[in-house]
Structure 1
Amino acid sequence: MIELVLAIAFDLLFGEPPNRVHPVVWFGKITAKIDRAYKRRNPLTDFLAGIVCTTVVLFFALVLSFIPRFLPFPFNLIAEVYLLKSSFAIKSLYQHVKATICEDVEEMRRAVSLIVSRDVSKLDRHHLISASIESLAENIVDSVISPIFYYMLFGLSGALIYRAINTLDAMIGYRNEKYEYFGKFSARLDDILNFIPARITVLLFLPLKPKRVWQYCRLAKFKINSDKPIACMSAVLSVWIEKEGVYRFEGRNPRLEDVKKALKVYCLIVAIFLSLVFMLEFILVNHA
């Protein structure tokens, strides 16, 4: 577990590495190049091309994960810690959401636009706050729980392959004319990989407001995974969270103070999860 401890320490101290040496940025650049080069043809060909694109990016992630094995100590440890840290983003997620706590609506709109993919130009203050809280809740799974979960199961390869699939989904996993078939394979892989971590996240939220969290999660049937932590956050904060035309969880109007509360909930959930991870590892090691 020393690699995970060091990777978390690296993340909390320094945050994200520069883009030019960030593996996730590399995944994105490979995806973007293939996306630009491939001219859409028909549903079947587009789907097969999407499989090829996904395979190329995953192969690159797998090769990266093997690099530490061929390095002498301590360079192998440094490489593994660095690559593992690149698969999750505890501090960066906190910082990006915290930056949305602005009294000025236009400044808040700019900050929110950096963490959501939708058009925020016409959102009012309440919907901007809702989008900020929603992004935080959803990314608890994508940016923290899932990569560490797959690291625990499959080591560095699991963490980097998960992050590669999640990056593919974020870039091409859209249901529109351009990506409906080209991005379908990576989007379904992302759904499969997030299925268990999303439900682990629900369990982490349950002790905070058991009855209300469970009630809201039973209503979260809009998406396979992403609406589950959003429902939990809405339940714990007692505010409505809405993505217009997609879902809405009821509550009072969200306020800026609720973003601060959501960040505290985020820190608590992450702390509980990491504590359970280290406790489980300690038990397994001592009973091996």
Structure 2
Amino acid sequence: MCARMILAAISATLSLAATWVVASPEHSKPLPQESLNQERISVLIEGSGTDVILIPGLASSREVWAGLASKLRQNHRLHLVQIAGFAGSPAVPDIDGKVAAPTADAIAEYIRRHRIEAPTIIGHSLGGEVALMLGARYPDRVGRLMIVDALPFYTLLVAPSATSETATPHAIEIRDAMLTASPEQNAAMQNASIARLAKTEAIRPSLVVAATQSDRETVAHAVYELMTTDLRPELNRIKAPVEVVYAYDNLFGVPASNVDALYRNAYASTPEVSFTRIDGSFHFVMFDQAELFSDAVMKFLDK
């Protein structure tokens, strides 16, 4: 994703931003939450076979994986994560103002508690950062990682020489602006942002609903965390193979080679990494290029 579009994401979706288990097919079943840490996530299980854990992004529902799940559940046991506070799910207190890091801890505990051996982790956007945290901080609990349109330090998209320290003042401004925006401002920002993040018009309304139903404080803290967390120094701890899938479209206004270089440079210290670019797509590649994305996932799982 190019700097122009991520700026839109940061200053719109990011700059604002039931039942615990989403209604699901009869072959799905919810797992109980068993500890305070696990309240950060709920998990829906579908299918049978090798284990795949799917993590959605900022202010998103696990329903973003529905199309992919319909293809994977025949041969894989899917663990569809919902992050607390996103898409209408109940919020829980942030831990030191963080969302992604405690979510990674909760998923690591979920893997340990349910004795899941070397699962594949697929994470989109903020979920991609969670996946990287799992790989780097719990290297023996994951089998392989697919990172979907996510970087180990998001501020690189707008400031290639940025550090966590230099990113902090702007991150504070954005977080505080999100918390003080009126409901009307929030809704307008979400609509404008989703138009830049999803090329497929038909899917935009459901993404807007998920975003506007997300807990404002949770989203604001998550944005701050994304903007100030630089995982590049941790990437060399990852033992699992990593595949980075990222979007490109001519509407980004920059050559594809620039986007290629951005991702390769950001992941340079990852021991075993490969890259797949999906053209003709904005940030939500699972909708904009559903078949190409599904094919990329299938090939990754078959390796």
Q: TM-score, normalised by structure 2?
A: 0.29
Q: Which has the higher helix share?
A: 1
Q: Which has the higher strand share?
A: 2
Q: TM-score, normalised by structure 1?
A: 0.30
Q: Which structure's CA Rg is the greater one?
A: 1
Q: Looking at both structures, which has the greater relative contact order when contacts are Cα pairs under 8 Å and sequence separation is at least 6?
A: 2
